[in-house]
Amino acid sequence: MTYNILVTGGAGYLGSIMVPDLLAAGHHVTVLDSFIYKQSSLNHICHHPNFSVVKGDTRVEHDVLPLVKKADIIIPLAALVGAPICSQDPIGATTVNHDAILMMMKHLGREQIVLMPTTNSAYGTGDHENFCTEELPLNPISKYAIDKVEVEKRLMEHPNAISFRLATVFGMSPRMRIDLLVNDFTYRALHEHCIVLFESHFKRNYIHIRDVSRVIRHAMQHFDAMKGNIYNVGLSDANVSKYELCQHIQKQLPDFVFIDAPVGKDPDQRNYIVSNDKIEATGFKPEFSLDWGISELIKGFTMIRNTRYGNL
């Protein structure tokens, strides 16, 4: 089946991979993006007859509502992503990450589908064993995660919605972000050859950006069976600590040295192991391993050496 799909923030890190994939699958895709990072990440699909792009702001009803009304599926990606940028601009973060989504949800028809990537960072430090399933009470410890939790609650009141609690995403994208953990560590390993780790035993889960795009298309194909649910989306064999992540990178960059600092705290206190059993029970399996992604990043960062690809 062919859908009319609205992707807000579709020129960002995730959207720049997802939108071409949706077009290749035969769908009509409209992107609404403010282009605040002056990105040109969708240049290569402007030739596509099923692609439309609108420059606008998800917080402005005049920009959003005409596009929402035409959409069969809405994929809200527009966000100020991550704790640092949300701390730097808390008002902007609230209006984009929270208020704009609730405004859009208010105008949705019951038959319209919403596929929303959220975040597993809302688990915070997990339970006493740091093991997190979708049923575990949430413990968000950053403004970004707190806003996402509130949005997810509202989302699940909609009769045709799915929430994907994404693990920390990694991998190359036309709108690159170097500030994500695997991307950041690989960049520094390649160009600086050394990292000092704080609380290196802290664990989290990871997922390749192309598998994020794949899980959205998987949900479209199996929507009736999956709707109304929340799913963790990550690599089940990549619940790894920061120290173990560095070991993975060192296998491909032998000159890389990482040092475990004896004192000091990581400002990011997330520490958890995530179960992805629920999404895997629907038939979804990630294709791109942590090691494969590190290899991809090394190739990409051979061509990139500057700091303009993060959100700060």
pLDDT value of residue 121 = 82
pLDDT score of 131: 87
Lowest mean pLDDT among 17-31, 129-143, 240-254: 129-143
- CATH class for domain 4-243+245-303? alpha beta
Whether residue 310 is predicted with pLDDT greater than 60 in this model: the reply is no
Task: Specify the pLDDT at position 269.
Answer: 75
Q: Is the pLDDT of residue 23 over 90?
A: yes
pLDDT tens for each residue of 182-238: 999 999 999 999 999 998 999 999 999 999 999 999 999 999 999 999 999 999 999
Task: Give per-residue pLDDT as tens, 249-265.
Answer: 999 999 999 999 887 77
* pLDDT, average across residues 293-309: 86
pLDDT tier at 311, thresholds 50, 70, 90: low
pLDDT at 309: 52
- Percent of the chain topping pLDDT 70: 96
280, 235 Cβ separation under 8 angstroms: no
Task: Tell me: pLDDT of 45 over 80.
Answer: yes
Q: What is the CA radius of gyration of the chain?
A: 19
Distances (CA, A) of 201 to 204, 271, 296: 10, 8, 25
CA angle 269, 126, 164 (to 5 degrees): 95
Contacts of 6 (CB under 8 A, 6+ apart): 30, 32, 67, 68, 70, 71, 73, 74, 75
